[in-house]
Chains A and B, each alone.
Chain A
Amino acid sequence: MNALLQVAARIFVVLFFVGVVGSMVVVLVSFVEDLELLVESDDAAEIDRTKSQAYS
């Protein structure tokens, strides 16, 4: 049982750290992209028509 756990733990560690590296790429790429979107000037006043109602 312990041996099996050790093997599973090693596999999980590899998968986890590979996943973490890949996820950091996701974070970097999407963060830059979304930050540009956030600071981009927009017709915010028009968007913030919170009272407007319409059929979706």
Chain B
Amino acid sequence: MSSGSQILTPSNRVRIVVASSVALTFISYWRAAAIVLNDLGSSAYYVGGIAEDAFGRSAPWFILGVMLFSFAVRAVYVESCSMFVRGGVYRVVKEALGGTLAKLSVSALMFDYILTGPISGVAAGQYIGGLVNELFSKADAHGWIGPGIHAMFHGTPQLNVNAASVVICLAVTLYYWWENIKGIEESSDKALRVMQITSIMVVILLGWAVVTLLKNGGELPPWPTPSNLHFNDTSLGFLQHTSVASAFGLFGILMAFGHSVLAMSGEETLAQVNREIAHPKLKNLKRAAIIVAIYSFLFTGVGTLLAVMIIPQHVPVASYENNLLAELVMWFNGPLVVRLLFRTFVVVVGFLILSGAINTSIIGSNGVLNRVSEDGVLTDWFRKPQRKYGTSYRIVNLIVGLQVITILLSRGDVNVLGEAYAFGVIWSFTFNSFAMLVLRFKYKGERGWKVPPNIRVFGKEIPLGLLSVFMVLLTTALVNLATKKVATISGVMFSAAFFVIFTVSERTNARKFKHAEKEMKEHFQLLHEERIERETVGVRPDCTLVTVRDYNTLLQLRWVLQSTDTTENDVVVLAARLTGPGSGEVDLSSEQIFSDHEQTLFTKCVSIAESYGKHISLMVVPARDVFSAIVQTANSLGAARVVAGLSTKMTAEEQAFRMGTAWEGALPPKHQFVFQVVLPGPEVRSFRIGPHNPDLKTEDVMLVHRLWLDARRQAGMDELHHHDIVTLALTRLAADYSRDRQTILKDLRGASDGVIGKTPARVGPSGKPLPNPVPPTDPRRH
């Protein structure tokens, strides 16, 4: 493309249809709640110990208070999601307070996300290490550890729990790093299953705790009064040598609340999943939010309270602060073996939920950075797709790199991580609630729901509820700045670094985009369409849809153009734009769509088409699942065939299977099409997608014909057709299938192995053996 050439008239430019909606998989409110709880619920494993270590045994009351307050924070998120489908902090703050504060708020959120991984992984490691040491101790007490091992370890073998935590956390983080590089599909099924297992554990845990209390009795933790608060030097932070530290009074309540606030980390995930919640969206969002709030109140809040009530006061906090739930189990009423078994269950569930939180943190930060990147805040360099897997690998590398550094710096100490973690949590909430408050006066558009109560004074609505939530969040955030030294220093440094990256990146992008826009205007004409329709794209029925991704592998486009007369059959080139969770589902601007990558891709497609002297149409569809996007576009255009290149991570058969699965899941109206995968050679594999006439083997056609011939000779069979033979055979097969499914399935498995075609039992209706079948042709695909 020559930038200096004269701008072409719109009619001469290549039209690119840009769909502004994303192909999404919608989920029920139960699944949405499960995803949020995987993040929010994980804090139950560590927050109790961190808070108790910071200010003493009255910690459970504050955690209960924070969990109760999280109901109000949830209300703020529901209101923001009812205004913007993409109700995350960046979008909301940008709308209300502008780009600078939005960048600051998203920097704080990034700090939250980056730390979620390490704190969850290290906490999981602490539980595993604690269990192993407990098992060693109990085994030693029973004399099951030999003197040789004793001598080797100079006593009972014990793991260095902090070191083990670092190793476990690093292993899980690196595992999820690789999964995210490969582009794992987010599965709400997995989240739901983890939460089902967690629920079983929570019910047993709370139930057994209540039974223990009824049998053994227990003491309520000291009431949350200033006199019961015992801050250590670390938890006083910068206030350590001030008059406030010596006589804090009610201010101490505020300080303790600030130390417990990380119990509600994970609420932001609610905004991330909102866009995937099924219709009726707002109702289901509120249902998911209330489930999340009740569940986390019981698990984190009540669980911590019961732990402090049951674990005797003489047990030093330091011995169980990183293993609160495991320690609680050991004080339950019941046989030791059962307690140890249940403790193992608690640890396994903890590992599942906490390692899930590591994945959520990588996916969440990737989503947030992709979103700001699409808004032009990060340069295209960050968004460059991974060559083999098409994922935004540079962003994933950056996130995981920062997490690995954090894990190593923490040296397996959950308290240090917890100290820092609260910074991101509280500041992203504060920015969000402040933005929502401003939007009450600034935003006049549609709003599905408002945080109550709201009163009218002189015709003006005063958002009392929202204002109250903001006041609590702001005061807590400011007090945390003074009391959480580690959080303030690391949080400010981290957020400042991210803010600078965002600002510099945004400026570079703006300059670059001006140039790119000029180039785009010379060669491409963008048509934004809400939905893809054949008329708007301007193609005839039965067109060919060619999917493209990597500009280095466009063999499929060359093959199609070689073998297609475009005056008879239209060719549409489709680029499905992968969007991360929470990324722009509405109004993708040309700035968002056309990074360097897309520009090069389309320019190459156009030059290939020009080299064949043929016309192509270009189209961009944002998608979460590429196959769903292709199927939906093919349905909307009435495409007769879809042509793709060979995937780098799937065989042609696997690609066809995924396409078929997406077709089954698509909403009607839908029609069948042929899916062709072009392999190097070029060799083309064809598959029919959707219900279709099977490709019958020659010997099967012969069998049908012979049966027909034989039957036709009998009296009263004048009207018999070949299809009657097939119908009867299928009806009988269906009857057999309903009677004896397993045998039929066994035979069908044999058929797929080629066994049936080789059976000697191919006997004609008259009892005579049939002639040898025609040698099998290439396996037909269905």
Chain A interface residues (CB < 8 Å from chain B): 1-2, 5-6, 9-10, 12-13, 15-27, 29-31, 33-35, 37-38, 42, 44, 47-56
Contacts and interface: CB of A to CB of B under 8 A. Distances in A.
Contacts of B230: none
Contact of B475 (A19, A30, A49): A19
Contacts of A51: 25, 664-665
Contact of B24 (A9, A13, A31, A54): A54
B467 A47 contact: no
B666 A53 contact: yes
Q: Can you list the 9 inter-chain pairs with the closest CB atoms, starting with the nearest?
A: A22-B468, A19-B471, A19-B472, A48-B28, A34-B290, A26-B465, A23-B72, A2-B243, A9-B251
A26 B170 CA distance: 41
A8 B585 CA distance: 43
Contacts of B275: 56
B469 A22 contact: yes
A31 B244 CA distance: 36
B58 interface: no
B665 A52 contact: yes
Contact of A16 (B254, B278, B280, B664): B254
B728 interface: no
Given A38-B287, A48-B30, A53-B628, A26 B72 contact: yes
B667 interface: yes
B468 A19 contact: yes
A34 B74 CA distance: 11
B667 A53 contact: yes
B242 A1 contact: yes
B637 to A, nearest CB: 13
B665 A56 contact: no
Interface string B451-490: 1110000000000110111111111101100000000000
Contact of B290 (A16, A31, A50): A31
A51 B188 CA distance: 11
A56 B587 CA distance: 12
A16 to B, nearest CB: 4
B291 interface: yes
Given A23-B465, A23-B469, A52-B278, 20 more contacts: A6-B244, A9-B244, A12-B254, A15-B474, A19-B467, A19-B468, A22-B465, A23-B69, A25-B468, A26-B72, A26-B75, A27-B69, A34-B286, A34-B289, A34-B290, A37-B283, A49-B278, A50-B188, A55-B21, A55-B24
Chain A contact surface mostly: helix
Contact of B23 (A9, A13, A53): A53
B591 to A, nearest CB: 21
Interface in B351-410: none
A30 B71 contact: yes
B152 interface: no
A33 B74 CA distance: 13
A14 to B, nearest CB: 9
Interface residues of B, number: 72
Nearest to B625: A53
A54 B254 CA distance: 47
Interface string B438-457: 00000000000001110000
B468 A13 contact: no
A43 to B, nearest CB: 10
Contacts of A35: 290
B468 A23 contact: yes
B28 A50 contact: yes
Contact of B464 (A15, A22, A44): A22
B316 to A, nearest CB: 31
A26 B78 CA distance: 13
A15 B472 CA distance: 7
13 contacts: A9-B244, A10-B251, A16-B475, A16-B476, A19-B467, A25-B452, A26-B468, A27-B72, A27-B75, A37-B283, A37-B286, A53-B665, A54-B24
B191 to A, nearest CB: 12
B68 interface: yes
A47 B29 contact: yes
Contact of A22 (B30, B471, B665): B471
A56 B632 CA distance: 12
A24 B278 CA distance: 30
Contact of B26 (A6, A19, A27, A52): A52
Interface in B554-609: 585
B25 A53 contact: yes
B291 A38 contact: yes
A13 B251 contact: yes
Contacts of A50: 25-28, 31, 188-189
A7 to B, nearest CB: 11
Contacts of A53: 23-26, 625, 628, 632, 662, 665-667
A26 B665 contact: no
B467 A22 contact: yes
The winner among B78, B287, B453, B479 for most chain A CB atoms within 10 A is B287
Given A52-B665, A53-B667, A54-B24, A37 B290 contact: yes
B449 to A, nearest CB: 9
A49 B280 CA distance: 13
A56 B472 contact: no
A53 B636 CA distance: 14
Contacts of A26: 71-72, 75, 451-453, 465, 468-469
A38 B289 CA distance: 10
